[in-house]
Amino acid sequence: MTYDVRDKNIRGFPAALSKAIVPKPLNNPSQINKILNLYGTYDGIGRKPIVTDGSPVIDTFQVHDIICRNVLGLGAHYDETKDYDTWQASLLRTWGFKCFCQLCRAEHADGPHVRNKRRELEEQAQALLERAHPARLKRLTVVKARRLANSISETYDEERYKNLPQTALESIQQYLAAAKDW
């Protein structure tokens, strides 16, 4: 983890990756442009490679910034929340960017009202599942679980979420799949 004094945020930093990447452009100068043109907020030596005495100049602080802004590593802080707003805030705080992948665009398009409703329904489903032991299935619990699954499913726009995971449904669907086997 590193502390960025520019925006006062703590960021994940895969140190081993930096150690491995910094020497690469020295051995393969044709890759310097590609590295320097990745997203970064520290200008360092700029975006054009500099050669001195026949060797490329590498600003390790600039490479560090580029890595911090572009790499999500397994050893780094990763907030596994399913909540879109918390996830986006975590990405911005830790990595300095907002995600615009297809799933995040769909979640954003839902708006806060739909996301809040989905979150409330998911919390109700979690509470039901915590009380319901799979070995002691009760018909009423299964009926409630199906009803909650349908309500959660209705918060997902069919077209917008086509081929995307509907993460709020994961736990309740696993429960209902297990209930079907009984």
119 and 59 together in one domain:
no
42 and 77 together in one domain:
yes
Cα–Cα distance, 173 to 171 (Å, whole number): 5
Cα–Cα distance, 154 to 148 (Å, whole number): 10
Q: How confident is the model at residue 40 (pLDDT cuts 50, 70, 90)?
A: confident
Domain boundary among 65, 95, 125: 95
Structure tokens at 65: 């910034």
104 and 67 together in one domain:
no
108 and 62 together in one domain:
no
Domain boundary among 95, 126, 148: 95
Structure tokens at 108: 């954003």
Q: How confident is the model at residue 38 (pLDDT cuts 50, 70, 90)?
A: confident
Cα–Cα distance, 53 to 112 (Å, whole number): 57
72 and 111 together in one domain:
no
Structure tokens at 119: 């979150």
105 and 77 together in one domain:
no
114 and 177 together in one domain:
yes
Q: Which domain holds residue 74?
A: 2-81+88-95
Q: Structural domain tally of the chain?
A: 2
73 and 136 together in one domain:
no
25 and 73 together in one domain:
yes
176 and 104 together in one domain:
yes
Q: Which residue has the tokens 């399913």?
A: 82
69 and 113 together in one domain:
no
Cα–Cα distance, 46 to 27 (Å, whole number): 20
Whole-number Cα distances in Å, 156 to 15, 110, 129, 149, 168? 39, 8, 21, 11, 10
19 three-state secondary structure: helix
Residues 132-177 pLDDT 10s: 766 677 888 889 999 999 999 999 999 999 999 998 999 899 888 8
Residues 61-114 pLDDT 10s: 888 888 877 765 544 444 455 688 888 888 887 777 888 889 999 999 999 999
Domain boundary among 95, 121, 148: 95
Structure tokens at 114: 């739909």
For residue 48, report the phi and psi dihedrals to the nearest 5 degrees: -105, 135
11 and 67 together in one domain:
yes
Higher pLDDT, 13 or 175: 175
